[in-house]
């Protein structure tokens, strides 16, 4: 049986690694660390507890908690008789994945689709070789970005088990 010190080290390692992964999702390291702490903690935590566990300032904790609530990865919990807000993370791995997928699409794919559509319109009637090549490339990129966004939308609508079956079929 692992001792308490080994457990704490494992917990700290997980929080640190989740923080590093978060930067790949388009969120800050601290925001991902706050999410990791809440995700692995069985009880709801207050801002003060998050600050203490992660050794971050009140402003940093508050900002990141509110951002996580905005993403839908964390919920505010009100305890009867308490003035403080408490926070709990979504723990369902599939829901976490689909929330991150949805937010990345909204923040990255959707603006790219909009930009590419605008570039398509503005390059539609250019009669030069360079203009035609640009327009063709914008069309291909636009079509792909729309396709990727649509795939993301479809995946986020699936339940976990059907998604696994679909992935298994795709990968075999």
129-164 burial by CB neighbour count: b if 16+ within 10 A, else e? Answer: eeeeebbeebbebbeebeeebeebeeebeeeeeebe
> Which of 38, 73, 89 is where one domain is finished?
89
How much is the pLDDT for 143?
A: 95
Q: Are 73 and 143 in the same domain?
A: no
- Number of domain units in the chain: 2
Q: Are 78 and 103 in the same domain?
A: no
Q: Are 109 and 166 in the same domain?
A: yes
pLDDT tens digits, one per residue of 103-144: 888 888 999 999 999 999 999 888 899 999 999 999 999 999
Q: Are 138 and 125 in the same domain?
A: yes
Among candidates 78, 46, 79, which has minimal Cα distance to 62? 46
pLDDT tens digits, one per residue of 1-14: 568 889 999 999 99
pLDDT tens digits, one per residue of 33-77: 999 999 999 999 999 999 999 999 999 999 999 999 999 999 999
Q: Are strands 74-78 and 85-89 parallel, antiparallel or unpaired?
A: antiparallel
pLDDT reading at 30 higher than 90: yes
Q: Are 85 and 123 in the same domain?
A: no
Helix (H) or strand (E) segment spanning residue 89: strand 85-89
Q: What is the chain's mean pLDDT, rounded?
A: 90
Say how many CA atoms lie within 13 Å of 85 toward its Cβ.
11
> Which of 89, 109, 129 is where one domain is finished?
89
Q: Are 84 and 101 in the same domain?
A: no
Q: Are 97 and 131 in the same domain?
A: yes
Q: Hey, CA dihedral for 58, 47, 108, 115, is it positive or negative?
A: negative
pLDDT reading at 166 higher than 80: no
CATH code where residue 69 lies: 1.10.10.10
Q: Are 80 and 131 in the same domain?
A: no
> Which of 34, 59, 89 is where one domain is finished?
89
Q: Which domain holds residue 65?
A: 4-89
């Amino acid at each position: 049986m692992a001792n308490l010190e080994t457990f704490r080290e494992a917990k700290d390692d997980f929080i640190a690694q989740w923080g590093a992964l978060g930067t790949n999702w388009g969120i800050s390291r601290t925001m991902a660390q706050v999410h990791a702490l809440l995700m692995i903690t069985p009880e709801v935590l207050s801002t003060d507890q998050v600050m203490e566990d992660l050794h971050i300032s009140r402003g940093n904790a508050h900002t990141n908690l509110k951002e996580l609530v905005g993403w839908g990865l964390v919920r505010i919990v009100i305890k009867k008789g308490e003035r403080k807000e408490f926070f709990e993370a979504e723990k369902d791995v599939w829901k976490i994945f689909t929330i991150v997928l949805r937010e990345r699409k909204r923040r990255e794919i959707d603006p790219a689709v909009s930009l590419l559509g605008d570039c398509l319109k503005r390059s539609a009637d250019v009669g030069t070789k360079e203009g035609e090549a640009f327009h063709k490339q914008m069309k291909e990129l636009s079509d792909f970005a729309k396709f990727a966004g649509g795939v993301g939308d479809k995946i986020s609508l699936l339940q976990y088990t059907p998604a696994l079956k679909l992935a298994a079929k795709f990968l075999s």
